[in-house]
A = this chain, B = another copy of it.
Amino acid sequence: MANPIDFYFDFSSPYGYFAATKIEDLAARHGRAVTWRPILLGAVFKLTGQQPLPTIPLKGSYAAHDLVRSARLMKVPFKMPTKFPIAGTAPSRAFYWLGDKDAGLAKKVALALYHAYFAEDRDISNPEVTGNVAAKLGFDKAELTQALNEPAVKERLRTEVEAAIERGVFGSPYMVVDGEPFWGSDRLDQMEKWLATGGW
């Protein structure tokens, strides 16, 4: 069995959202599974000194334009959220907690969370909103929102973020195929070529 693709993303990252809508089909075309790994870019940016895109002069307004244009091209529903960026803490903790119960369903929740934020302008940094999204897919909302504050759940996310940084992850989306890193939704093409050819 071929190695799964590691898929790192931040719930506040629009390019991460774009990649999330494509990566399972892409991987399946090459007989690969995908391990989803939400991270918190805030922790990474502290280390790298980067700033969230919208706050960077010139680049920020280009990005706003590029996102809408890319979404139209990819036919992904997208509207820049009113509140941006947000902390991905609640949805990320929820994802890992749900993933231990049902990995496949947790991915569906992750996609639904991304959709809630980037297509419906719902603030998924709010644990209540994250709980409502998960509940729609059959999880118990009260149990989930309570879990978000458990020390073990908090620690799990911290550990995942640290491991990602240790591995060199500095942005979202960031994919690793058999040790080969690909950063950005515009590297999905190269990643697919890599999967098809074994590298060049």
Chain A positions 43 through 87: 1 when the CB is less than 8 Å from some CB of chain B, otherwise 0: 010011111000011110110011001101100000000000000
Q: Looking at the complex, which one of B58, B62, B184, B186 makes contact with A47 (CB distance below 8 Å)?
A: B58
Is A169 part of the binding interface, using a Cβ–Cβ cutoff of 8 Å?
A: yes
Tell me, rounded to whole Å, the shortest Cβ–Cβ distance linking A10 to chain B: 15
Q: Looking at the complex, which one of B56, B69, B72, B187 makes contact with A186 (CB distance below 8 Å)?
A: B187
Q: A44: which B residues are within 8 A, CB to CB?
A: 58
Tell me, rounded to whole Å, the shortest Cβ–Cβ distance linking A59 to chain B: 5
Is A139 part of the binding interface, using a Cβ–Cβ cutoff of 8 Å?
A: no
Interface size of A as a range: 20 to 34
A56 to B51, CA, bound (A): 12
Chain B, Cβ-Cβ closest to A185: B186
Tell me, rounded to whole Å, the shortest Cβ–Cβ distance linking A114 to chain B: 22
A72 and B200 contact, CB distance less than 8 A: yes
A200 to B72, CA, bound (A): 7
B59 and A170 contact, CB distance less than 8 A: yes
Tell me, rounded to whole Å, the shortest Cβ–Cβ distance linking A169 to chain B: 7
Tell me, rounded to whole Å, the shortest Cβ–Cβ distance linking A69 to chain B: 7
A62 and B200 contact, CB distance less than 8 A: no
Q: A62: which B residues are within 8 A, CB to CB?
A: 168, 170, 181, 183
List residues of chain A with CB under 8 Å of any chain B CB: 44, 47-51, 56-59, 61-62, 65-66, 69-70, 72-73, 165, 168-171, 181, 183-184, 186-187, 189-190, 193, 200
The 5 closest A-B pairs by CB, nearest first: A58-B170, A186-B186, A59-B170, A48-B57, A58-B168
